[in-house]
């Protein structure tokens, strides 16, 4: 608590130092190391470098889908893929290193179970992987492509944006690649740096014709992935890699679907709406309890789940009720998906807003290695932004 007071003092000093706008650029910069770890000595801080910036909150055990099993995120993905290949004889899984089980173990056991013609490695070529997947889907078979890290999806950008997204439209619905799903590990992981931490959803949000989906938990992941695979449009499914092992909960063994383009209000509230997706949902959940405890503020927490097409109605309905909106994502601020949400909400709910919409995001820089704790929109930054909105 003393450290929190010290931190608050530090923040106040910075605030006094310059105008609000100046302050915005200082968010996170210059904070003493001790600030991050309340009871830290320098030694302890070094040992605690691996402490995550969030705490995964499992959802209660689902009762309506039959027997459940404790699964972490990668196991829930395996389960979804297992269900898909069992149900759909045309379904195939391919990408780099998927045959031995995948670098994140998402495809363990599937090649042995379903055969080497259905679960196979491809050469190291993302544009080839996606192009190949499109071709399979054009024949009507189900293609589940893996891109090893979302950071490496860019060679496939042309195939995704110019081809997959436009296949049905440009052919007048004579042809389509709706049975294509692309899965890829996504988001910060503590040590990933520039090329193992990216969240590229904003690049794809600008592309009509595809769906982009990001789960926050194993139970969500399985249901959403199954929906993506069965959806009649090409889908990109980003899997928060930091949650692969860190998130574990009871997940149904049988297949089930969670609808796409439906955001979930995971906690109701009345004073401010918090919107995030993927790992960041757990951060804002914690911010919501901090706000309740310290400020007596009641937060409505929304997991967006589908980035495009996004659930405008749920978010707007919430903002109409609360009058305040905070959106948070790891991806850089400028052009990040929060800007789309912010723009639409101010169009739809202008007169309901009590404060400017707040976006707490990564900085407009490449994703750093050693500076990750300073880069990511952690709970303190979110809490601070929330406080300012309340006091606006």
Partner 1 sequence: MAVAIAAARVWRPNRGLSQAALLLLWRPGARGLARSHPHRQQQQFSSLDDKPQFPGASAEFIDKLEFIQPNVISGIPIYRVMDRQGQIINPSEDPHLPKEKVLKLYKSMTLLNTMDRILYESQRQGRISFYMTNYGEEGTHVGSAAALDNTDLVFGQYREAGVLMYRDYPLELFMAQCYGNISDLGKGRQMPVHYGCKERHFVTISSPLATQIPQAVGAAYAAKRANANRVVICYFGEGAASEGDAHAGFNFAATLECPIIFFCRNNGYAISTPTSEQYRGDGIAARGPGYGIMSIRVDGNDVFAVYNATREARRRAVAENQPFLIEAMTYRIGHHSTSDDSSAYRSVDEVNYWDKQDHPISRLRHYLLSQGWWDEEQEKAWRKQSRKKVRAPRPGGRRQGPAWEAGCLPTAPCPHR
Residues forming the site for partner 1 (CB under 8 A): 90, 92, 117-118, 120, 122-123, 125, 127-128, 130-141, 143, 155, 158-159, 162-163, 166-175, 208-209, 211, 233, 308-310, 312
Q: How far is the CB of 54 from partner 1 (least distance, A)?
A: 30
Q: Is 254 a catalytic residue?
A: no
Instruction: Based on the residue annotation, tell me whether 369 is a catalytic residue of this protein.
Output: no
Nearer to partner 1, 118 or 369 (CB): 118
Rounded CA-CA distance 163/314 in Å is: 31
Residue (91 or 243) nearer to partner 1, CB: 91
Q: How far is the CB of 150 from partner 1 (least distance, A)?
A: 19
CB nearer to partner 1: pick between 246 and 316:
316
Nearer to partner 1, 173 or 293 (CB): 173
To partner 1, the closest distance from the beta carbon of 4 in angstroms equals 42
Q: Which one, 61 or 158, has the nearer CB to partner 1?
A: 158
In whole angstroms, the minimum distance from the beta carbon of 172 to partner 1 comes to 4
Given the residues 96, 126, 249, 300, select the one marked as catalytic: 126
Are 6 and 40 in contact, with CB atoms under 8 Å apart? Answer: no
CB of 164 to partner 1, least distance (A): 10
Catalytic residue (one of 53, 96, 196, 340): 196
Active site (catalytic) residues: 126, 196
């Amino acid at each position: 608590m003393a450290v929190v007071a010290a931190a608050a003092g530090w923040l106040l000093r910075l605030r006094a130092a310059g105008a609000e706008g100046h302050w915005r650029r200082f968010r996170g910069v210059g904070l003493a190391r001790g600030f991050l770890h309340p009871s830290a000595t320098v030694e302890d801080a070094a040992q605690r470098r691996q402490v995550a910036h969030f705490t995964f909150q499992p959802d209660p055990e689902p009762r309506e889908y039959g027997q459940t099993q404790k699964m972490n995120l990668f196991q829930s993905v395996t389960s979804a893929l297992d269900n898909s290949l069992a149900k759909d004889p045309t379904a195939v899984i391919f990408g780099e290193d998927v045959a031995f089980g995948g670098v994140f173990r998402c495809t363990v056991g599937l090649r042995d179970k379903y055969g080497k013609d259905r679960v196979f490695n491809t050469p190291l070529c993302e544009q080839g992987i996606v192009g190949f997947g499109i071709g399979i889907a054009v024949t009507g078979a189900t293609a589940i492509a893996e891109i090893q890290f979302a950071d490496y999806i860019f060679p496939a950008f042309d195939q995704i944006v110019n081809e997959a997204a436009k296949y049905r439209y440009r052919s007048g619905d004579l042809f389509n690649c709706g049975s294509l799903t692309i899965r890829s590990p996504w988001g910060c992981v503590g040590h990933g740096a520039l090329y193992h931490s990216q969240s590229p959803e904003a690049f794809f949000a600008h592309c009509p014709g595809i769906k982009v989906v990001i789960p926050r938990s194993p139970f969500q992941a399985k249901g959403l992935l199954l929906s993506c695979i069965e959806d009649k449009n090409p889908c990109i499914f980003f899997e928060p890699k930091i949650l692969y092992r860190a998130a574990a909960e009871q997940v149904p063994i049988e297949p089930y679907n969670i609808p796409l383009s439906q955001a979930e209000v995971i906690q109701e509230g009345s004073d401010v709406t918090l919107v995030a997706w993927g790992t960041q949902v757990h951060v804002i959940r914690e911010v919501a309890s901090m706000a309740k405890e310290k400020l007596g503020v009641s937060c409505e927490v929304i997991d967006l789940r589908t980035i495009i097409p996004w659930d405008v109605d749920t978010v707007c309905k919430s903002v109409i009720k609360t009058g305040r909106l905070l959106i948070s994502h790891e991806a850089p601020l400028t052009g990040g998906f929060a800007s789309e949400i912010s723009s639409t909400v101010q169009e739809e709910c202008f007169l309901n807003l009590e404060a400017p919409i707040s976006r707490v995001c990564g900085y407009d820089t490449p994703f750093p290695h050693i500076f990750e704790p300073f880069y990511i929109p952690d709970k303190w930054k979110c809490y601070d932004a929330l406080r300012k909105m309340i006091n606006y």
